Structure formats: C-alpha cells, structure tokens
A and B are shown apart, each in its own frame.
Chain A
Amino acid sequence: MNDHTPSENAVPAKQFGPPELSLAHPGRFMRMVEPFVTPIWVATVICLCAGLYFALWASPPDYQQGQVVRIMYIHVPSAWIALYGYLVMALASAGFLIWRHPLADLIARASAPIGMVFGAICLVTGALWGKPIWGTWWVWDARLTSMLVLFLLYLGYIGLGNAFEQASNARIPCACLALIGAINVPIIKFSVDWWNTLHQPSSLFRTEGPAISDSMLIPLSLMIIAGFLLYSSLLIMRIKLELARTKLQALLRRRSNEDCLP
C-alpha cells in the first residue's frame, strides 16, 4: 500500500497569497486546531470555575463599593474580550481584503457574534454597576458611548452580512465596515485619558503598576484568562459552524444548477 496516496476526503490546499498562508487553508486549519479543542475547553472551565469562586466568595468586598465591586470581575474581562474580538475581526478582514483568503473571512464572521455578546455583557453589567455607584444607569460619557458604538458596529457587521442574498457578495462590504470601525478601538482605550469622563481611568496597565490590591487582582486576572480561553473555544466552534454553512450553500447552489439543466 502506498503511504503517500491521499485519502478520498483529502482536499488539496489551494495556494492563497504568500506560500506561508497555504497553512491557513480552512480544512487544514481545522485539522490543525482539532487536538487543542478539548484541552482549551477544559482549561476554560477550570479557569472560569476558579475565577468565579474567587470573585464571588474568596475576594473581599470593597471598602467603598461593598459587594457591588464583584461586578468588576465580569465587566472588565467582557470589555477586554469585546475589544479583542473586534481587533481579530479587523485584522482578519484586512487579511481577506489583501489576500482574498477564505479562512480570514471565516474568522472575521465567526468573531463578530462572540464580540457582540461580550460587548452586550459589558454594557449591561456596566449599567448594573453604575446605578448603585454613580446613581445612574447610563451617561453619555466618552467611554460608555464609544463602547456602545462598538456594540452597534458588531450589530451592523452581522446585519450587513445577512443583508445579501448571496453570502459571498457580503464579504467585501463587511470587511470594509470592520476596517473602518477599527478606528473606534483606540478611541475606547484612550477615551478615559483624552476626555473628562465619569468612568474611572485604567487601573491595570499603568506605569506605577496596577492600582488594585492583590486580593482583587488575582480573581480579576483569572477571569480575564478564562475570558480569553472562552473566546478561543467559541471562535473555533463558530469557525466550524461557518465552514458547515459555506459547505451547505455550495451544495444548494450545485443542486439548483443541476435542476436547471434540461
């Protein structure tokens, strides 16, 4: 038996752009990440359980905010993941526009709903944190407004993707929207430095070191790690879904073409 004979199901990787990008062929990429899926999920669950335990029971209440400070452990990681998700989406869209790489488009489409959900969590938990501490659910402050714009950009991206009858026609407009919207990412990050806002300034990445005590920094770090792991797990799940959808669309197109033949 010839060991070099490819299996029946093997799809030859099409060359897109530079040679190193051939490694990112969707089928090959999924085969490459498949062994890591279970370990990433296990690590996500462990980190999330440990983080939630510390956040809800083992960490002390704040001397000013009391128990409400526990909202921070989900609010901050959600904000980070929402921003990170958009960065991934924008970079993947740039990759798609430059090299027309199918995997880049799949990653961008897969990242959008995840980032949108984390953005929604950030906005909802922020309002629930703001009411007892600031005395209001919402203010049109630079940080809050730019975060709302990020959420609307996610909604717009998903809406635009579904607005075309042929999903393939939506790829370029969606990639352009994702790239234009990327200007909002640094605005969110530096909004607390550039404008006077009700929102507190950065308390983790400062030249003088983190502004919060270790008893709160440890659970927060655990929840941030859990958030990034969860994002990775969900991204792989959504890429699989997008791959299946692409396959289904191709199959339906082939069937309708066959039906049209005399």
Chain B
Amino acid sequence: MNHVYFVACAYAAFIAMLGTLVITTVVARRKTELLIEHLNHNHGE
C-alpha cells in the first residue's frame, strides 16, 4: 500500500497554510506601520 502522495499533500498543505499566515501577518503589519509613518510625516509638515 503506497500512499506517499497523501502524506506529501498533507505536509504541503500544512506548510502552505502556515506560510501564508506568517507572510500575510508580516506584510499587514509592515503596511500598517508605513501608513502610520506616512500620516505622522504628513501631519508634521
């Protein structure tokens, strides 16, 4: 019984979903911080 493909798919899904969560969190935080910086900078002028 060779079901290695099921194992490969499960681990790929695990890595893909966690990777997406980490990347979206980092990008969202960076974008929010840049927006805050931009707003503060404009206000300073």
Q: Which residues of A contact B (CB under 8 A)?
A: 56, 66-68, 70-71, 74-75, 78, 113-114, 117, 120-121, 124-125, 128-129, 131-132, 230, 234, 237-238, 240-241, 244-245, 247-248, 251-252, 255
User: CA of A56 to CA of B10 in the docked complex: distance in angstroms?
Assistant: 12
Interface centre among B2, B25, B26, B43 (most CB of A within 10 A): B25
With A67-B3, A113-B21, A117-B21 already in contact, the answer to whether A240 and B14 are too (CB < 8 A) is: no
With A238-B25, A244-B29, A248-B35 already in contact, the answer to whether A128 and B10 are too (CB < 8 A) is: yes
**Residues of chain B contacted by A70 (CB below 8 angstroms):** 7
**Residues of chain A contacted by B13 (CB below 8 angstroms):** 121, 124-125, 128
User: CA of A85 to CA of B26 in the docked complex: distance in angstroms?
Assistant: 20
User: CA of A159 to CA of B9 in the docked complex: distance in angstroms?
Assistant: 28
**Residues of chain B contacted by A131 (CB below 8 angstroms):** 6
Whether B18 contacts A121 by the Cβ 8 Å rule is: yes
**Residues of chain A contacted by B18 (CB below 8 angstroms):** 117, 121, 230
**Residues of chain A contacted by B32 (CB below 8 angstroms):** 241, 244-245, 248
Residues 1-35 of chain B, each 1 if its beta carbon lies under 8 Å from chain A, else 0 = 11110110111011001101110011011001101
**Residues of chain A contacted by B21 (CB below 8 angstroms):** 113-114, 117, 234
A155 to chain B, nearest CB (A): 14
**Residues of chain A contacted by B35 (CB below 8 angstroms):** 248
Whether A120 contacts B36 by the Cβ 8 Å rule is: no
**Residues of chain B contacted by A113 (CB below 8 angstroms):** 21, 25
Whether B33 contacts A68 by the Cβ 8 Å rule is: no
User: Which of B10, B25, B36 contacts A251, CB < 8 Å?
Assistant: B36
The 8 listed contacts between A and B (C-beta, < 8 Å) are A66-B2, A66-B3, A74-B14, A113-B25, A128-B6, A237-B22, A244-B32, A248-B35
| Chain A interface helix/strand/loop/mixed | helix
A109 to chain B, nearest CB (A): 13
With A67-B4, A234-B21, A252-B39 already in contact, the answer to whether A129 and B10 are too (CB < 8 A) is: yes
With A238-B25, A244-B29, A248-B35 already in contact, the answer to whether A68 and B14 are too (CB < 8 A) is: no
What residue in chain B is nearest A72 (Cβ atoms)?
A: B10
What residue in chain B is nearest A74 (Cβ atoms)?
A: B14
Given contacts A68-B6, A68-B7, 6 further A-B contacts (CB under 8 A): A71-B7, A78-B14, A113-B21, A125-B14, A132-B3, A237-B22
B6 to chain A, nearest CB (A): 5
User: CA of A171 to CA of B7 in the docked complex: distance in angstroms?
Assistant: 40
User: Which of A56, A132, A238, A245 contacts B6, CB < 8 Å?
Assistant: A132
**Residues of chain B contacted by A74 (CB below 8 angstroms):** 10-11, 14
Whether A237 contacts B26 by the Cβ 8 Å rule is: yes
A220 to chain B, nearest CB (A): 14
What residue in chain A is nearest B9 (Cβ atoms)?
A: A128
User: CA of A247 to CA of B34 in the docked complex: distance in angstroms?
Assistant: 12
User: Which of A71, A230, A241 contacts B10, CB < 8 Å?
Assistant: A71
